[in-house]
Every structure is written in C-alpha cells, then in structure tokens.
Amino acid sequence: MKKTDFLRFLSAFELSNTKISKILDIMAEDFSFEKFVNEDELEKVLHEDYFTIVKKANEKFLTAYIEKLNALDIKIITRADEDFPEKLLHVDDPPYYIFYKGDLSLLNDKCVAIVGTRMPSPYGITVTERFAKELALAGGVIVSGLAYGVDSIAHRKALEENGKTVAVLAGGFNNIYPQENYSLFCEIATKGLVLTEHRPDVKSVKYLFPQRNRIVAGISDALLITEAGAKSGTTITKDFALDYGVPIYAVPGNITSTKSEGTNALIASMQGICAIDPQSIIDDLGLVKKKKVSQQLSIDEALIVDKLKDACSDIDEIQLKTKLNINKLNSLLTTLEIKGIIKRLPGGLYSLS
C-alpha cells in the first residue's frame, strides 16, 4: 500500500499529528495492513483506540470510507501526495492530510486573511467590505474562517465581486458552524475553496478554533484585522502570524470604541501595520488593481454620495444635510444601493460601499 493511502486510512480516526508521526516511524516505509496489524509497538501509541483501529485495518474498510467521502463530494489530500499545498507544510504542527471541497490551486495565489470580531460595528462592516472588495478585485484570495461577523462579510463580499475566497473550518463538513452560514459554505465550496483537517462528522468544539486559526494564518501571505476588541479570538490568529512572519495589517478605529481596542493596540505596539487604504496591501503583495468603470450619477445622487463621504449616516441625517424630500430621498437611496454605490447597514444606516 502506498503511503498516501495509509494516511487516508488514518484520517478516518481523528488522530493527533504526534500520534500519526509516531505511527509512521514505527511502520518504517512499509505501509501494509499486515504490518500494521502485527506491530505490537502500536498499542503503546494508540492506547485504548488500538483495538478499534486494528479491527478496521483492512482494504474493505478503506474502500468503503473513501467511497463515503466521494459520495459527500469531499476530497482528501495527504502529505504524501505530490500536489499537497506547499503553504500547508509551513504551518505550525503541519497537518498530514486535509479534507477539502473546491479548487485547491487557490492556495498558490496571493492569499489575504481577513479576520475580526463576530459582532462588527457599522464602521467594522464598512471597512471589512471595502478592503475585501478591493483585494478581491485585485485578484487576491480572501481567506477567513466562515464565522459570524467580519469572517462572513469578507467571504460574501469576495463572492459578490466574483473574487476568490477560501474558508477554513474548525470542524468537519457535516457540522458547519454557524449553521446560518450553510448556504455561504455551499457557495464557497462551488466557487472557491473550503478546507478542514477534520473528518466530516467532527463537531466544531471550542478547542478546535485556535487550531483552525493556525491554518488561516499559515496559508495567508498577509493578515488583515479590520475590527477586533481587546479580548478576541483574532489575537490567536495574530500570534500565529507573528510566528510565521506573515505581515499583519490592522485597520485603526475610533479610540473610544471598545470594538477597535484590539486593532488599535496592534498598531500602537507596532506589531501591526496601520492599514488605511486597501491599495497599500495590494502594492505590498504585488497585486495589480483592476480599473473600475465609473457610473453616471444625477445631481441629487451625487449630492447624497458627497454627504456620505465623511461617515455613515441614518436617513434623518442625510435628509438634514441634503434637504431633499423624504419620499424622493427614499427612492434615491434605493437606486444608489442597486447601483452598488452605497450600502445599507443594520439599523438603517447608509455608507459608501
């Protein structure tokens, strides 16, 4: 049996990387089931799991397992395969195998991880969308973790702009967390790439998220944090990025906002590069920005766009500034939104997109 098939076999049992490496040492280049079954050393490594695994150590089980994955349209690639993504080998505690759906070659492009709080403020939403859009348009691959908030906004924006995006899951494919993002997951699986280290039935439990973050940081060429509070899961991703030497960009926020404490601290401690313009990241990564077609606006539309330049506002504020009739304003805002020039945020706020 080939090494890659042997690793596939092991992937069915959720073993830690340490155990897998010990098993590989014991097997010493002979990856047959006979040897696996007869090797007594293995019992010391696998402990209580030993008998369950040995019982299943046969061709029949392996074929059934692979067939099951195929039925779910889940592909698996192992370190023994030639086209195993180079980037994954440089991750801390590199995985022996990866389950994925979609186009694995995306990892060869310039990847930018966009992460942040699960509950972004209107400001956080605006900047996440702006950066995700510009980076996606420039051909960057947006990497994130399919979580609530910044993660899903970044994924969605990339898809909206027909850009590429990669989602790294904490659990298996049959347990998408959060469930609300299932449709987003399906969309990324067909248009981008979703990957995880875990077999399909593994639940996304708490301790798996930091492990996921190590991959997010590892496969990216840059890490962008758009909005994060002082205590945030983002800190873990940031620490991994620091280890790997991946450049960290942080979007500065209002110093009175608790939601920007984390990003502001990053900038203050010089760990993060202050990101005020997507262009700087695009330049640093050596990407080329595509020219956008400018749209014709009516006088009133231009007036609204002008008033929204400084900050997002609610409709009463826009009305005060533009002195437009409320029914006219209502319809103008919708038209601008359809044209994709402005964006409606929760709470009835509008901002430039």
Partner 1 sequence: MLSKIHSYGLFGIDGFKVDVEVDISNGLPHFELVGLGDTAIKESKERVRAAIKNSGYSYPIKKITVNLAPADVKKMGPFYDLAIAVGIMTADPNCDIKGFTAKSAREFVILGELSLTGEVRPIKGLLPILISAQKQGYKNFIIPSANSNEASFISNVICYPVSTLEEVVKFVSKQMEIEPVKHQKFVSETQDSKNTLDFKYVKGQQRAKRALEIAAAGGHNVLMIGPPGSGKSMLAKCFPSILPDMTFDEALEVTKIHSVAGELDNQKGIVCMRPFRTPHHTATAVSLTGGGLHARPGEISLAHNGVLYLDEMPEYPRNCLEILRQPLEDGKITVARNAITVTYPANFTLIASMNPCPCGNYGSKTHECKCSPSMIHKYLSKISGPILDRIDIHVEVDSVTFDDLRGEALEESSAGIKQRVDKARKIQLNRFNGLKNFSNAKMSVPATKKFCVLDKECENLLQSAFSKLKLTARAHDRILRVARTIADLEGKENILPEHIAEAIAYRSLDRKYL
Q: How far apart (Å, rounded) are the C-alpha atoms in residues 33 and 36?
A: 5
Q: Which of 135, 74, 137 is nearest to 101 (CA)?
A: 74
Within 8 A by CB and 6+ apart from 48, the residues are none
Dihedral, CA of residue 338, residue 350, residue 143 and residue 268, to nearest 10: 160
Position of tokens 């348009």? 137
Among 21, 108, 258, 295, binds partner 1 (CB under 8 A): 258
Lookup: tokens for 270: 């010089």
Q: How far apart (Å, rounded) are the C-alpha atoms in residues 17 and 172?
A: 17
> Where in 167-196 is the site for partner 1 (CB under 8 A)?
178, 180
* 128 touches 147 (CB < 8 A): no
Among 259, 264, 266, 267, binds partner 1 (CB under 8 A): 259
* 251 touches 180 (CB < 8 A): no
Is residue 314 at the binding interface for partner 1, with CB under 8 A as the rule?
yes
Question: What minimum distance in Å lies between the beta carbon of 66 and partner 1?
Answer: 35
Among 173, 312, 342, 353, binds partner 1 (CB under 8 A): 312
* 241 touches 264 (CB < 8 A): no
Among 319, 321, 322, 341, binds partner 1 (CB under 8 A): 319
Position of tokens 């995006």? 165
Give the contact letters, 63-102, x = binds to partner 1 (CB under 8 A), - = no: ----------------------------------------
Among 121, 126, 165, 204, binds partner 1 (CB under 8 A): 121
Compute how many residues bind partner 1; rule: CB under 8 A.
34
Q: How far apart (Å, rounded) are the C-alpha atoms in residues 336 and 101?
A: 36
Listed ranges 34-42, 209-217, 251-259, 301-309: which one lies at the site for partner 1 (CB under 8 A): 251-259
Q: Which is nearer to partner 1, 150 or 282 (CB)?
A: 150
Q: How far apart (Å, rounded) are the C-alpha atoms in residues 80 and 99?
A: 14
Q: Which is nearer to partner 1, 211 or 319 (CB)?
A: 319
> Where in 326-345 is the site for partner 1 (CB under 8 A)?
326-328, 330-335, 337-338, 340, 344-345
Q: Tell me which residues touch partner 1 (CB under 8 A).
A: 118-119, 121-122, 148-149, 178, 180, 257-259, 312, 314-316, 319, 326-328, 330-335, 337-338, 340, 344-349
